[in-house]
């Protein structure tokens, strides 16, 4: 399964980066191949200063070795070895009218000292973070997510949509990071879902990503914007940074397992503002966004 999924994410990385380059029309992804001293490595691709995308990364990795003590405590195991592979992406467009997007699809195995698999699971999801809220964009994104889920189980979309709303919540700000999407983790073999079934589900979600995001990029990148709207984008990006550095489990896992720091922190936008006690004007589109982020919404 690990070889099969790693092959899948290599192909998916090629598909996604090719499409993003096509949409941008100017910038190309820079590729870095890296090795992890403890075992494994990855292939990072970063795009910067494009016509459409200010910064973005589409990274794959496959790492293995002894699970660090801190992560043994986290998982509640002793003397375990692990294998983890996945694709992680974050795209920060230049225009504040185009939302930031994040996605991740991953697979994990844990072994005893004899090398036997003692646990294995899939995880992942995709979520949208707009700076100006176009309701139809959120509806489109969630509709694609729901269609991918419905092909496998009628309860997957409502369950994983709710988990996404709960996970991407900035507790210290009491607001959502964005308008959500899907989040699933610890997807293990059960009576009605074997690992092959989970593979089929996760890859269907992965394959739906471009359909969920690219039409929004094309539609909104043609809209002009002001300096004040760009300022608002950078202020909201500050909240994105706060979530990734304070709450995100993937960032924590990468740092705790001696991951490649450039790849882990590629999710951070290049231009950000933190304004003291900033509040948007009453009745503004900025205020409408904040009101929506205070209470998760059923988009479809």
- Residue-range domains of the chain with CATH: 2-293 (3.40.1500.10)
Write down the residue that tokens 């503002």 correspond to: 273
Nearest Cα to 166, choosing from 184, 149, 154?
A: 184
In this predicted structure, what is the pLDDT of residue 271? 96
Q: Evaluate if residue 261 carries a pLDDT over 80.
A: yes
pTM of the model: 0.95
Q: How far is CA 292 from CA 107, 142, 285, in A?
A: 33, 15, 11
Q: Evaluate if residue 257 carries a pLDDT over 80.
A: no
Q: Evaluate if residue 74 carries a pLDDT over 80.
A: no
What digits encode the pLDDT tens for the residues 3-35? 999 999 999 999 999 999 999 999 999 999 999
Let me know how long the chain is: 300
Q: Evaluate if residue 107 carries a pLDDT over 80.
A: yes
First to last CA, the chain: 33
Active-site residue list: 102
């Amino acid at each position: 399964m690990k070889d099969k999924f790693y092959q899948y994410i290599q192909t998916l990385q090629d598909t996604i980066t090719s499409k993003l380059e096509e949409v941008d029309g100017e910038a190309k992804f820079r590729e870095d191949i890296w090795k992890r001293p403890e075992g494994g490595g990855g292939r990072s691709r970063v795009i910067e200063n494009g016509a459409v995308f200010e910064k973005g990364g589409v990274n794959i990795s496959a790492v293995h070795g002894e699970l660090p003590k801190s992560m043994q405590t986290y998982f509640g195991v002793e003397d375990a070895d692990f294998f983890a592979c996945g694709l992680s992406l974050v795209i920060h467009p230049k225009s504040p009218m185009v939302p930031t997007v994040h996605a991740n699809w991953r697979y994990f195995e844990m072994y005893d000292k004899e090398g036997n698999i003692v646990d294995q699971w899939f995880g992942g999801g995709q979520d949208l973070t707009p700076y100006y809220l176009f309701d139809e964009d959120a509806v489109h994104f969630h509709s694609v997510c729901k269609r991918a889920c419905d092909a496998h189980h009628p309860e997957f979309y409502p369950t994983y949509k709710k988990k996404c709303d709960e996970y991407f919540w900035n507790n210290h700000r009491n607001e959502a990071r964005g308008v959500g999407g899907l989040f699933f983790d610890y997807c293990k073999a059960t009576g009605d879902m074997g690992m092959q079934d989970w593979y089929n589900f996760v890859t269907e979600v992965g394959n739906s990503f471009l359909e969920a995001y690219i039409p929004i990029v094309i539609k909104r990148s043609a809209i002009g914007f002001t300096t004040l709207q760009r300022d608002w984008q950078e202020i909201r990006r500050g909240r994105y940074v706060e979530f990734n550095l304070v709450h995100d489990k993937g960032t924590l896992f990468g740092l705790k397992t001696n991951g490649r720091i450039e790849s882990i922190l590629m999710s951070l936008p290049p231009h950000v503002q933190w304004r003291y006690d900033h509040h948007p004007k009453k009745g503004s589109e900025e205020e409408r966004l904040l009101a929506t982020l205070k209470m998760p919404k059923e988009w479809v």
